[in-house]
Structure 1
């Protein structure tokens, strides 16, 4: 019984999705130049890099897990009607316990970020606030909802960049990329229950395409070896466009859900592409190593 209860609370945190959030941090380190610095100074045993990477990885685990668990707390009554199999409406998890678990996870995430620097700490507060705002208000807003959700992911990527505040000050607009990508996912996901959202699916496809153009453009500007980003973008296209095309053809909730799941997991590939664009393909591969972990967890726990 205890194991069943533990599994139910783990379900609330969407473990496969949490791995995608860690990829945000690792990509943010690449954008900040931290991986390059570590590679140059590894012989001197630079421990600060590893501590910063650990603290911010732990921070995003707390922030993401707490944010998505709060989503189930906020949706408990609606899920009792539309998705009664979920942990809270099924009775496998207590709404009150889930509330406190979510709160503690967010506090933990903020605490860990402050161990790196104040900029990271205040960014973590912003991410937590955006997550709770989306759970209780944003998701019900047709236009602002996707933007609200996208801001959560933007803040998470910038949380990784905040390891070097001076770089963050210059390159913060890069946060628009995850905002657009996640806004597209959020818009498409509204058809998971009832389907018939063809316009949103086509709009999402266009927003995905803009991400490809932007990442390739950044690679071209940042690196003379910009062509190395192409395999990452090809993998990203293979992951997201076939299930999206099937969702557009069928308009069925089942296939829309599969499209959303593929796009969420593929956030790791988006981050690997960004890491490759800024720090070269070896760092892109390091980020991409998170993908099989996320895919394995996606078989055990729901992604959406």
Structure 2
């Protein structure tokens, strides 16, 4: 049981629920429902998310020994080699699931896997880190769309949100700064407005998108504004958690423009994400 808990902590297992909506957003925007073999795409997305988390802890094992000794590798609950092996198996599983769907999806999941490795191993600590992480989320949305151009705007919005959250997350240990927090809050406001722009299937679809976008802006923006006033480490961590959890209301807003049924299914995720976050940290 203790090893299973270590695995859950390594992969931030419950936080992968925030990745389920990525492929749903892409599929809704492209008009390509997640049915038949395409139902494997959310599975692929989750597997790549878990792989990225495991690879992250492998790459950060020396830093975590000093800053986050409670994590599985520095605490000795899992070895570094085991973590790397878990990441490889998960990445391979995700790639295989997408390849079953089609050649476009196979190419996109390969690009996504490369982006995940690039972020964790090369770019994370440098100035390009937030952009690299944003590319991962954008590619995940495009995976659900099979690369269709119709999903590019939605992918860009989720990427922009991810970029700002990643920039804020750099202050989780030592604190952030008011400029970074203000930029994140501004990004949240712009993304919320853009999420309800463009074509909607009906007035009811737009109303649902507006409600979800308002939920997203209130949930994420409030903590980011608090970080502007008090940019210490605990507030930065709270803003990061809110940003991660806020992925789901944003996904609901983007999906509701085209597909109310799928948006309703995504609306069931936030309570689960919130509850699971009390058991395994998302950051």
TM-score (norm 2): 0.95
1:158 has 2:114 as partner: no
The CA deviation at 1:172 is 2.8
SS at match of 1:34: coil
Q: Which residue of 2 aligns with 1:213?
A: 193
Q: Distance in 2 between matches of 1:16 and 1:248?
A: 28
Query: Which of 267, 279, 283 pairs up with 1:300?
Result: 279
The CA deviation at 1:170 is 4.5
Q: Distance in 1 between matches of 2:245 and 2:281?
A: 11
Query: Which of 59, 65, 80 pairs up with 2:50?
Result: 65
CA 1:147–1:69 in 2, change beyond 3 Å: closer, same or farther?
A: same
CA 1:236–1:170 in 2, change beyond 3 Å: closer, same or farther?
A: closer
Where does structure 1 differ by over 4 angstroms across 4 or more consecutive aligned residues? none
Query: Which of 99, 102, 105 pairs up with 1:117?
Result: 102
Q: Which residue of 2 aligns with 1:136?
A: 121
SS at match of 2:72: coil
Q: Distance in 1 between matches of 2:100 and 2:73?
A: 33
Alpha-carbon displacement from aligned partner over 1:175-208 (angstroms, at most 9, x marks no partner)? 2111111000011111111114111111111111
Query: Which of 11, 32, 38 pairs up with 1:52?
Result: 38
Is residue 141–residue 151 contact of structure 2 (8 Å, CA) maintained in 1? Answer: no
Q: Which residue of 1 aligns with 2:169?
A: 189
Is residue 16–residue 295 contact of structure 1 (8 Å, CA) maintained in 2? Answer: no
CA 1:58–1:282 in 2, change beyond 3 Å: closer, same or farther?
A: closer
1:145 has 2:142 as partner: no
SS at match of 2:278: helix
Query: Which of 237, 243, 251 pairs up with 1:257?
Result: 237
Is residue 193–residue 213 contact of structure 2 (8 Å, CA) maintained in 1? Answer: no
Is residue 27–residue 287 contact of structure 1 (8 Å, CA) maintained in 2? Answer: no
Q: Distance in 2 between matches of 1:51 and 1:290?
A: 23
Q: Distance in 2 between matches of 1:108 and 1:238?
A: 36
Is residue 22–residue 251 contact of structure 2 (8 Å, CA) maintained in 1? Answer: yes
CA 1:172–1:234 in 2, change beyond 3 Å: closer, same or farther?
A: closer
- Compute the RMSD of aligned alpha carbons: 1.5
CA 1:299–1:50 in 2, change beyond 3 Å: closer, same or farther?
A: farther
Based on CA coordinates, which of the two structures has the bigger radius of gyration? 1
The CA deviation at 1:173 is 4.2
Q: Which residue of 1 aligns with 2:30?
A: 32
The CA deviation at 1:30 is 1.3
Q: Distance in 1 between matches of 2:113 and 2:58?
A: 15
Q: Distance in 2 between matches of 1:282 and 1:60?
A: 20
Q: Distance in 2 between matches of 1:254 and 1:282?
A: 37
Unaligned runs of 5+ in 2: none
Q: How does 1:220-239 map to 2 (within 5 A)?
A: 221-225=199-203, 226-239=206-219
Alpha-carbon displacement from aligned partner over 1:12-62 (angstroms, at most 9, x marks no partner)? 111222111111112222112234xxxxxxxxxxxx814321x11211111
Alpha-carbon displacement from aligned partner over 1:211-241 (angstroms, at most 9, x marks no partner)? 11211113xx233412331111121122112
